Amino acid sequence: MSHTEITRLKGHAKRPRAELLMPAGSLSKLKTAILYGADAVYAGTPDLSLRTQSSFSLDELLDGVRFVHSRGKRIYLTLNLFTHNKDVEKLPEFVETVRKVHPDGVIVSDPGVFHYLREHAPEIELHVSTQANACSWLTVESWRKQGASLCVLAREVSFAELVEIREKCPDIKLEAFVHGAMCMTYSGRCLLSNFLAERGANQGNCAQSCRWNYKVLARRKDGSEVEITPDNKDDFDFYLEEQFRPDDLMKIEEDERGSYIMNAKDLCLMPKLDEYLGLGIDSLKIEGRNKSEYYAAITARAYRQAMDDWYDDPASWTPEPYLQELYTLQSRGYSLGFHEGRLSNIAHNYDRTETVGGWLYGGMITGWDGDDMIFMVRNPLRAGTVLEFLPPGSIDIIRLRLYEFTNAETGEITDKVSPGQDRQIRIPAADFHLEDLSVLKQILPPQSVARIEAKLSEDRQNLLRSNLISLDMERGLRDSDEQRPTLKGRAHVGKAPTLGLESCCGLGCNGCVMFWHDDKYAEARKKLAARKIGEKL
């Protein structure tokens, strides 16, 4: 942002601190998001929102609202589908449910639903969903005049447009998406899913057909098919030719993974977060109600810390420490989306659709039994695995290397454990050599998550490098001809040994037998004792 723009927006910086709004696809994810710093969460009911896979029952929703309100936070319900006649019949029941639940607002996209709630439940605060595609100050002001207290802007709104909307609409709250999956079409208004899977995208049941594997076929005029085989595939090139650009041929390529010509990367505006906060945006929204508790924890703690640090000292703020946290997530690669006004040519991944990341969801603390942590396993663990626990309220890490696993229910001890049927293990607090045991339970309360390092093949490491390069290119940090990024911090995928005499990898984790008991690491132990939690040697 230029000096002129900053000066022009000084008045907006006086608005209240921005709200961090997190998705809540289940009661457990709701609690995780709040624990890791969300100011508010949004949740949907299966039949009246754009999330038919929502796992909330009414009782769980009531429990969630009580949990959120008891901590002084906010919760919004989504009613953001586009209604058909059959849906209108459910509205009276929805109003009755909302009055029973007492949310802090309802997110709506359909104008008919909006006016129905204004008439039949005028006490309910109404927010306009991103599905309503508000892209101009005129549309935002129109919603304000109709009674909306907040407008969620379409993802297609550029930052320059957002500046003008903020200036001309000072009397309505503005919300913008800053992280999560992107739609390859216009804010979800897509017919691919309807056509290919008979699942309505705007009825909350998108099949994400844009991310499917499509095979390239060729057919002769007589109807016979040309079989493309490994033996003859190099004999053909396939192109798309657009009517008004006959010489601009767009090549369609396919490898052993297939063709992915519509696969959008994930949105990540962390590199531009200071601009949104400086502008005075009221709410910053994270997408991902169907993602795991690990996703909720990582995104909430990264954006929470980034926002707090910017408000404390905006002049010296940099996105790098928080980006390193976000790089530990499985993603399709990150993009700045429409921040600059249009998607760049690297905002889509035309090669493959899979997600990749250097770390996996290790599990979650479900409770404490005396001085024993009860830990639910979410990915396979084996002897020598290092668990990285993520304390809520900080960006620090607590590491623990485990050599055996005690079944929390049976007491059986094994050298490996796999997830399944909510399998839980028992970890004694005494194993955390570095920590003050008197406060360990407060540092790592129930719902705290842990991660483990992923072992990536060379192919997947290359994909991860490519994803990091693309975001750096969008940020202007590297040229398009650079081949390899510098993998720093949590983005790096190491292959440190976990067993044997040379097992210490230098991370200084709790429970590392070699590190804590071998004389050759005595000096390293002294250095580590003087460093803060999570800091490497």
* Identical fold between 3-186+267-335 and 359-453+496-529: no
pLDDT of 11 above 50 = no
Question: Does residue 50 contact residue 204 with C-beta atoms inside 8 Å?
Answer: yes
Sign for the CA dihedral angle at 24, 28, 29, 30 comes to positive
User: Mean pLDDT across the chain, nearest whole number?
Assistant: 82
pLDDT of 213 above 80 = no
Quickly name the fold that domain 3-186+267-335 has: TIM Barrel (3.20.20)
Q: How far is residue 518 CA from its own chain's centroid? A: 41
pLDDT band at 391 (very low <50, low <70, confident <90, very high): very high
The pLDDT value given to residue 81: 80
The pLDDT value given to residue 486: 45
Lowest-confidence region among 52-61, 71-80, 124-133, 208-217:
208-217
Mean per-residue pLDDT, 196-203 = 54
pLDDT tens digits, 226-256: 777 767 767 777 676 666 667 766 666 655 5
Most confident of 28-42, 81-95, 392-406: 28-42
- Taking alpha carbons only, the member of 264, 288, 278, 279 closest to residue 336 is 264
Domain ranges of the chain: 3-186+267-335, 192-252, 359-453+496-529, 458-488
The pLDDT value given to residue 220: 72
pLDDT of 31 above 60 = yes
Domain 359-453+496-529: CATH superfamily, name plus number: Translation factors (2.40.30.10)
The pLDDT value given to residue 55: 65
**Angle subtended at Cα 411 by Cα 408 and Cα 417, rounded to the nearest 5 degrees:** 65
Question: Does residue 317 contact residue 272 with C-beta atoms inside 8 Å?
Answer: no
Mean per-residue pLDDT, 145-159 = 95
The pLDDT value given to residue 43: 92
pLDDT band at 496 (very low <50, low <70, confident <90, very high): very low
